[in-house]
Amino acid sequence: MKRVSIIGAGTWGTALAITLSRKGHAVTLWAYEPEVVESIRLRHENELYLPGIKIPLGVSASASPAEAVGGAEIVLFVTPSHVLRSLMAGFLPHLKQEMVFVSATKGIDTEQLMRMSEVILTTVRPRFEPGLCVLSGPSFAREVALGDPTAVVVASEDRELAAVVQREFSCATFRLYTSTDVVGVEMGGAVKNVIAIAAGVVGGLGLGHNPTAALITRGLAEVTRLACACGARRETLSGLAGLGDLALTCTGDLSRNRRVGIELGKGRKLEEIVNSMRMVAEGVKTTRATLALAQRHGVEVPITLQVHRLLEGEISPREAIRELMERSLKEE
């Protein structure tokens, strides 16, 4: 049994807490909202983010960084990507070199275009060299919390460290595969959210299955081009963290990013959509960062470009689709 600290009590952080507690670990869940801490402590349920699913008694909750990570052997970061850097500063005094760090956040830092593992490394390295893994793959939080069979990837440049996390996290309903391709696993998990917005637009416009299939296929090509330009291995993007996560997010009803696209396709304004959502749709912020990263590497990302123009209000959903369909013809 390990002592595990999870930083972030949204749907994904809570689902991981439930899963790891069922495995037998002692889990402390850090929450920003006092009402979430109270809900977990008193009623053993995250009524704000994951209502209707009981949290095991082995999960404790705290709003104190010192209390949350004190004595932890494994620390998971499961926060929205745009707050990770600022939160890391608050937790840094309480982090220790012997801890294993796992990033389960999917996104790209909008300020410096860093992957989440890079944000963690640059924050922690002035104090010590951290042992770090990243966790990603096709995994709707509610289904994981309910115990539906799920397979994901844990990646680290340190094979032994990835094997430790694989062994400690895997159970009858949660299967982990290992990888050394940190870049590929993170890029697949981040950029697929942009493509999912586009897939949602197709649904919101009432179009059929053909354009969705085309978006997933060409979206995978786009994600792969950019990820490889950043140093990823092509085969990683054909696996769980690439194609698997992309297919799930582009087609599943639990996808927040797809939901944003659906509402845009119906004609709603982005601000109205985002303000009506309690949970973060990472693709909204990741789109701008993805486009900037592609421009830095000289990579063509036509779907991302049209999603960006749509989010900025420069183009309508039907105009975005027409722009994609009328691009110059080429070989696949």
Chain segment 204-253, per-residue pLDDT in tens: 999 999 999 999 999 999 999 999 999 999 999 999 999 999 999 999 99
314/221 same-domain check:
yes
161/192 same-domain check:
no
Structural domain includes residue 40: yes
Q: How far apart are CA 274 and CA 282, in angstroms?
A: 11
Contact 148, 251 (CB under 8 A): no
Question: Is 192 annotated as catalytic?
Answer: yes
pLDDT higher than 80, residue 153: yes
pLDDT for residue 313: 94
Cα separations in angstroms, 76 against 14, 44, 84: 11, 20, 12
Structural domain includes residue 332: no
- What would the two tokens of residue 197 be? 């917005």
Q: Tell me, what CATH number does 283's domain have?
A: 1.10.1040.10
32/123 same-domain check:
yes
Structural domain includes residue 93: yes
Average pLDDT of the chain to the nearest whole number: 96
Structural domain includes residue 330: no
Domain final position from 180, 209, 230: 180
30/95 same-domain check:
yes
pLDDT average, residue stretch 4-32: 97
Q: Which residue range(s) make up the domain with 83?
A: 3-180
pLDDT for residue 279: 75
pLDDT higher than 90, residue 277: no
User: Which has the minimum average pLDDT: 15-19, 150-154, 218-222, 328-332?
Assistant: 328-332
Structural domain includes residue 133: yes
DSSP state of 196: H
pLDDT in tens, 63-78: 999 999 999 999 999 9
- Residue among 23, 106, 192, 285 flagged as catalytic: 192
158/280 same-domain check:
no
60/175 same-domain check:
yes
Cα-Cα end-to-end distance for the chain: 50
Give the pLDDT band (50/70/90) at residue 309: very high
Give the pLDDT band (50/70/90) at residue 281: confident
Give the pLDDT band (50/70/90) at residue 295: very high
pLDDT for residue 205: 97
239/169 same-domain check:
no
276/196 same-domain check:
yes
How many CB atoms sit inside 10 A of residue 57's CB?
8
148/212 same-domain check:
no
Structural domain includes residue 162: yes
pLDDT for residue 231: 98
pLDDT for residue 252: 96
pLDDT for residue 282: 87
pLDDT in tens, 163-175: 999 999 999 999 9
Q: How far apart are CA 177 and CA 250, in angstroms?
A: 22
Q: How far apart are CA 128 and CA 124, in angstroms?
A: 6
51/170 same-domain check:
yes
Q: Tell me, what CATH number does 60's domain have?
A: 3.40.50.720
- Which amino acid is residue 285, in one-letter code? K
Give the pLDDT band (50/70/90) at residue 62: very high
113/46 same-domain check:
yes
Structural domain includes residue 167: yes
As for how many domains the chain has, the answer is: 2
pTM (predicted TM-score)? 0.96
Structural domain includes residue 331: no
Residue 55 main-chain phi, psi, to 5 deg? -100, 130
Domain final position from 131, 146, 180: 180
Domain final position from 180, 206, 221: 180
64/36 same-domain check:
yes
pLDDT for residue 118: 98
Contact 1, 21 (CB under 8 A): no
Q: Which of 156, 63, 65 is nearest to 102 (CA)?
A: 156
